Structure 1
């Protein structure tokens, strides 16, 4: 994908301090993009930026995505400095095992939804009006998960939040399609990140983060509405969606559960 003639691609990424967000930042930096890197940990963002091509060109925003005013301020700063954004990736996300009856897990549900769902909305919101005035490449990228396709025991908050991301992005896609803005949903399977390293169960088709980022960038380039990565997990996801509830329940009622610790 290329930006307008004579101009570098402008990419704004949340959750850039680790995991999928950092991998996507490295992928786009290698393609020559200028980046807005947003995450809670400024030191990790600076360490990442120092390893990227044209390291001094990138913009660092040490911001918690649940601070919507600070997030909007970072977006406005990036737009002012670079004249807009071509690609915005809502990559911030957390995961944790949850049980509805467990004391304290109501607040964990709220935290997971605030970061995975509401912050995705808050990430996109400041960019939409400028993108409507623009031309060429315009992508809003929501990071969902195959976990959003069926609910798994002990992961109600995470599964439900990622399902909400998928549905929200679908609604937004319809709203923005007449304006030439593509909304892309990427649903990762198992990607080797700090989040998945907490899992204590087999992870089929586990994918290195750099390979995931390259595949995701290709889907974003193409403006795909929805893509599961890696592709074998896409087949598994479709089969899971088609399973009748009685069979799904029988197969997964004894499946292992997520760890209780919140993982970025």
Structure 2
């Protein structure tokens, strides 16, 4: 594979959506810069997939640690060059109860990963992308950004923050040649959703999501809900008056807390 092949940088690439995106980009002939805390999981996946060594590189980083993820981006630039696409996919989802002191730490960790970690993922590449007048930055949000769900305060707040942050960044990048894409997955069958005890309508396989995401990113969509029916449901819920919305969600199962 020639170095002329395009390069994608993906965080959270050891499992779930991140791994599915890596597989989809690999199938399209891209080189891969894959980030995770567990690089051995990436290496095992690459070996199973039969990827030649020159097609991929793994970078160990914790997106909660700004210096760690910024360092991974800098190593990518030095080793593989400037990516055409950077996907800030790494994220966590843990239930919380504001009455519990321990769950304030859950909120802090969620925001550090899902928001600060996303900005820190983009940081090493943005100046060079602007100078080159090309590149795409992709933020993975969630339909949970559209309306707050009981017990999901940390996750919903963080994903709403992803949408607002990417919208702000898109405006800042206007005219620079750098595109900003915001993707909002619905329920995807990954380890992140495996423990959910409530209904998950339109549950989608990660490989199907990755294919649709690949096409949305390639098209330069600024905002896309995948699958689209989940977006319709979420937007309809957004339109409901608060009393009706609250009654509708009464008794709904909540995301599991870290400490029951």
**TM-score band, normalised by the shorter chain?**
over 0.9
What is the rounded CA distance, in whole Å, between the counterparts of 2:50 and 2:66 in structure 1? 30
Match of 1:155 among 146, 152, 157: 152
Q: Which residue of 1 aligns with 2:41?
A: 44
CA deviation string 1:207-238 (max 9, x = no partner): 00000000001100011111110111011111
Q: How many residues align?
A: 257
What is the rounded CA distance, in whole Å, between the counterparts of 1:92 and 1:155 in structure 2? 18
Matches within 5 A, 1:4-153: 7-52=4-49, 54-57=51-54, 58-136=56-134, 138-153=135-150
Please list every run of at least 4 consecutive aligned residues from structure 1 whose deviation after the TM superposition is greater than 6 angstroms: none
Structure 1 residue 69: Cα displacement: 1.5
**Equivalent residue of 1:38, what SS?**
strand
Structure 1 residue 53: Cα displacement: 5.2
Structure 1 residue 135: Cα displacement: 4.2
TM-score (norm 2): 0.95
What is the rounded CA distance, in whole Å, between the counterparts of 2:191 and 2:52 in structure 1? 24
Q: Could you tell me whether the CA contact under 8 Å between 1:29 and 1:53 is conserved in 2?
A: no
What is the rounded CA distance, in whole Å, between the counterparts of 2:29 and 2:50 in structure 1? 8
Q: Which residue of 1 aligns with 2:215?
A: 218
Q: Which residue of 1 aligns with 2:233?
A: 236
What is the rounded CA distance, in whole Å, between the counterparts of 2:202 and 2:237 in structure 1? 16
Consecutive unaligned residues of structure 1, counting only runs of 5 or more, are none
Q: Could you tell me whether the CA contact under 8 Å between 1:13 and 1:36 is conserved in 2?
A: yes
Structure 1 residue 62: Cα displacement: 1.5
What is the rounded CA distance, in whole Å, between the counterparts of 1:6 and 1:75 in structure 2? 18
Q: Could you tell me whether the CA contact under 8 Å between 2:64 and 2:109 is conserved in 1?
A: no
What is the rounded CA distance, in whole Å, between the counterparts of 1:59 and 1:6 in structure 2? 13
CA deviation string 1:40-70 (max 9, x = no partner): 1121111122234543021111211122222
Consecutive unaligned residues of structure 2, counting only runs of 5 or more, are none
Structure 1 residue 39: Cα displacement: 0.4
Q: Could you tell me whether the CA contact under 8 Å between 2:12 and 2:18 is conserved in 1?
A: yes
Q: 250-259 or 16-25: which moved more?
A: 250-259
Structure 1 residue 80: Cα displacement: 2.0
Structure 1 residue 205: Cα displacement: 0.4
Change in 2 beyond 3 A, CA 1:238/1:88: same
Structure 1 residue 83: Cα displacement: 2.5
